[in-house]
Amino acid sequence: MGKVRFGVSISDELSRQLDELARRVDLSRSELVEQAIKNMIADYIHYLVPHDCTGVMVALCPDDKESESVVEKYSDVASAYLHFHQGGRCLEVLMISGPSSRISELHGKLVALGCGVRFMPSLSLDTFSSKAPALQALKRTETKG
Ligand SMILES: [Zn+2]
C-alpha cells in the first residue's frame, strides 16, 4: 500500500512530546503518527457509518454539573450511567445504546466541555465491518487509493 505525505501544524510542546516518545519507542515520527491515526480511526470508526451501536463511554470531566446535564439530554442513548468524583473531577461511566450519529454527538458535546472521552463499542471492528456494507465501501475506496 502506497504512503501519502502531508503536513500538519501542532503546538511546540506536542511536537517535543511526539519526538521524545518516538525516541523512547524507537519509531520514526511518521510511524508513531501513523499508529496514532490507526488507533483513533479504530476508536471513531463506529461514528463513520450510521448504525445502531452499543458500548461503554468513559468521560473524565471538570467538576461541574455541566457534564451531568449533557448526559441527561442524551438519556435516549445513555441508558444507564455511573457518576463519581475523583481528584476534583467528575468521572462518568455511560452504558451506551442507540444510533451512532447520536453517540458521536454526545461524544463531541462532552469533549467540548473539556472532558477526556473514550468510547468502547461492544462489537469488534471485524464483526462490525461484516455487518456494514457502507464500511466495506469505505474500505474499498481506501484500497483503490
Ligand atoms: Zn457500533
Q: Full-prediction pTM beyond 0.85?
A: no
**Architecture (CATH level 2) of domain 51-122:** 2-Layer Sandwich (3.30)
Cα of 30 vs centre of ligand 1, distance in Å, is 29
Cα of 95 vs centre of ligand 1, distance in Å, is 13
Confidence (pLDDT) at 30:
94
**Cβ atoms 98, 53 nearer than 8 A:** yes
Residue spans per domain, the chain: 12-44, 51-122
pLDDT tens string 24-81:
999 999 999 999 988 888 778 888 888 899 999 999 998 767 888 899 999 999 988 8
- Lowest mean pLDDT segment, chosen from 39-43, 80-84, 88-92: 39-43
Confidence bin at 21 (pLDDT 50/70/90): very high
Confidence (pLDDT) at 86:
78
Cα of 87 vs centre of ligand 1, distance in Å, is 31
Q: What is the maximum span of the chain, computed from C-alpha positions, in angstroms?
A: 49
Residue-by-residue DSSP string for 30-55: HHHHHHHHHHHHHHHHHHHS--EEEE
Cα of 136 vs centre of ligand 1, distance in Å, is 14
Cα of 18 vs centre of ligand 1, distance in Å, is 30
- Residues of the chain above pLDDT 90, percent: 48
E strands along the chain, which residues?
52-62, 78-86, 89-99, 116-121
Q: Are strands 89-99 and 52-62 parallel, antiparallel or unpaired?
A: antiparallel
Cα of 8 vs centre of ligand 1, distance in Å, is 29
Cα of 120 vs centre of ligand 1, distance in Å, is 9
